[in-house]
Amino acid sequence: MKIGILGAGSWGTAIAKLLTLNKHEVTMWSVDAEEIAMLNEYHEHKQKLPGVILSGIVDFTTDIQSAIEEKELIVMAVPSPFIRNTSKQAAPYIKEGQIIVCVSKGIEEGTLMTLSEVIEQEIPKASVAVLSGPSHAEEVGKCMPTTVVVGSSDKAVAETIQDVFMSDFFRVYISPDVTGIELGGALKNVIALAAGIADGLGCGDNAKAALITRGIVEIKKLGVKMGGHPETFSGLSGTGDLIVTCASVHSRNRKAGFLMGQGKTCQEAMDEVKMVVEGVYSAKAALELAKKYDVSMPIVEAVNKILFENYPAREAVKDLLGRDRTSEVTSLSWN
């Protein structure tokens, strides 16, 4: 299959490696001419994914038209803040019913739309699907065992993407719950910031386990209110993605949180990470959605205070521990 990948960062590069190993022809696009020049020369992203060599059939371009036309599948891999603008650029060249699979994670600030909703708004003629799960580019690029889920309202579209991506190290499940998959993938980044902050403060493993456990509760409560299926949040794009993003050395969200826990400002942390920290862009949107749907999300609230109100991280931990007493499972009653 001929496939266009929009976005040539670490994730776009790892996906290009996977797809070429599956014998597909790939064209990678980036707006950054220097990035494309580097990829053309070395077939390796030396800054964002060093050591991963693209040895299959790959073309690199700054011309978005050539990355889209005559392609059977488009992979949207730009960071979440650039999804809308990239979709606008791509729209004139997308044909009716063309499959676009969004592999980025986030919620658009301001509109509170998921990324697939943004793409559908800008490219209504496309058939938009999502791919998510615990899948750091650093490991996919090295062909390490990985499992993800593809979400689409059209089963045939989901199965097509499943066939394209499936390999002996990359297992793909399918699901009709696009909303749940996207919310799990976006909101876990905010919880991962909290986990990183706790690590930076030296709070220990008990605290991280609690943040992961109570974090998935917050994600599930909001996700179900917004139409996601409860089971999705126990799956790969929920619990699975949350665990890896809170614990992995590859997690840019955890790393940024760790730096903030050690005293750096949000901007200083992002500058040091040197890549887009998706959780920072999703945090405000998550809090707004919590208010809109009347869902209590104390971890998300604490992260927002630390990020945008210069609230001391250690005080935020005390606030979380000092909240009113309550039951863990509120749906159960005493005999």
Measure the CA–CA gap between 278 and 299, rounded to whole angstroms: 17
Which of these, 192, 179, 189, lies nearest to 113 by C-alpha position? 179
- Indicate which residue of 17, 105, 188, 220 is catalytic: 188
3-state secondary structure of 105: coil
Structure tokens at 98: 């063309």
Q: Kind and range of the H or E element at 199? A: helix 178-201
Residue 181: helix, strand or coil by DSSP? helix
* 188 counts as catalytic: yes
For the sheet with 2-6, list strands across it.
58-61, 25-29, 2-6, 73-76, 99-102, 127-132, 146-151, 170-175
Question: Tokens 């998550």 belong to which residue?
Answer: 286
Q: What are phi and psi of 309, to 5 degrees?
A: -120, 10
Structure tokens at 281: 């862009």
Q: Are 93 and 69 contacting, i.e. CB atoms less than 8 angstroms apart?
A: yes
CA 124/CA 316 separation, integer angstroms: 42
DSSP three-state, residue 234: helix
Alpha-carbon distance 32 to 49, whole Å? 16
Three-state DSSP string of 5-31: EECCCHHHHHHHHHHHHCCCEEEEECC
SS3 140: helix
Angle at alpha carbon of residue 305, lines to 245 and 254, rounded to 5°: 15
Q: Mind telling me the catalytic residues?
A: 188
